[in-house]
A and B are shown apart, each in its own frame.
Chain A
Amino acid sequence: MLTIAKQLLEEIGGHGARAYPNECCGALVGVAGEDGRKEVRALLALDNRREGEAARTRFLVTADDFRWAEKQARGQGLEIVGFYHSHPDHPARPSEFDREHALPWYSYIVVRVARSESGATPQRAGQAGGKPQEVTSWVLAEDRSQFLPEEIFPPAASNKG
């Protein structure tokens, strides 16, 4: 189970909306218990290192960015417990590509972002061209065969503003 405050889920949605039609990504920073439960205490928004057209369907956190994020987390006495990314115009379910590139144990939050009804210009960076929809969290099965849904607490339904 992943505990994450409503405000942090909204921040993930906001990052996804600003990045739309590109994918956004970031690190979930928090604490983990021996029983596998994790609690997110902070987010580290990261640059999607995929560029141009590729950034609409892919995200990348480079090893250097990973090391930077880990250092930030440890500086706060916390650790990286997972990552989030957005799926513009696609369901909040991990793709086959996500699975192939995933690590066990981490929580992977996926937020679906749809085009904003206000018709904002989605091409302009930093403008909310998208509107966040459902948010889900997933953990890779130990045999790497599939992603397993992970319960979000408080439940995602009560996180909808």
Chain B
Amino acid sequence: MTARGKGDFDPMAKIIVPTPLRQYAGKQEAIELAAATVGELLTKLVTEHGELRRHLYTEEGRLRSFVNVYVNDEDIRYLQKENTAVKDSDVVSIVPSIAGGNQHREARSGFLRRRA
């Protein structure tokens, strides 16, 4: 019998990778990883698939603002965020929100507001 290390008893959760990022995850739609929390799961994911990191995390190591994580159907923002515990057979989904727009106009209107 081999010795067990930390993490060997962690639950196995399935993480769903969104289509645009699958090219950085061995073209897999779903990856099973053992982790105690969502944060650990994401850390393992980007450790195994390093090219995912820049798209999920900022250079400061925070999840990008458009990266949302759901455990089953619950957004982790309404649970315990990255400390949310995962159980065996939980499905963790990375769901992007899509944002954009024209920065120049907002900057200009901001300037006008300051003058007013």
Q: In the complex, which of the residues B19, B65, B75, B105 contacts A101, with contact meaning CB atoms closer than 8 Å?
A: B65
Q: Does more than half of chain B's interface fall in helix, strand or loop, or is it mixed? A: mixed
Kindly identify, within residues 8 to 24 of chain B, every residue whose CB is under 8 Å from any CB belonging to chain A.
18-21, 23
A32 CB contacts on chain B under 8 angstroms: 19
Q: When the two chains form their complex, are residues B100 and A101 in contact, meaning their CB atoms are under 8 A apart?
A: yes
Answer whether residue A37 sits at the interface, using C-beta atoms and an 8 A cutoff. no
Our count of residue pairs bridging A and B at CB distance below 8 angstroms stands at 95
Q: Which B residues are within 8 Å of any A CB, using their own CB?
A: 18-21, 23, 54-55, 65-66, 68, 70, 75, 95-106, 109
A66–B23 alpha-carbon span in the complex (Å): 20
Q: Which A residues are within 8 Å of any B CB, using their own CB?
A: 23, 25, 32, 50, 53-54, 56-63, 65-67, 79-80, 83, 85, 87-90, 94-98, 101-106, 108, 143-144
Q: In the complex, which of the residues A61, A97, A103 contacts B18, with contact meaning CB atoms closer than 8 Å?
A: A103
Please give me the residue from chain B that is nearest to A98 by CB atom: B100
B95 CB contacts on chain A under 8 angstroms: 63, 66-67
A90–B66 alpha-carbon span in the complex (Å): 24
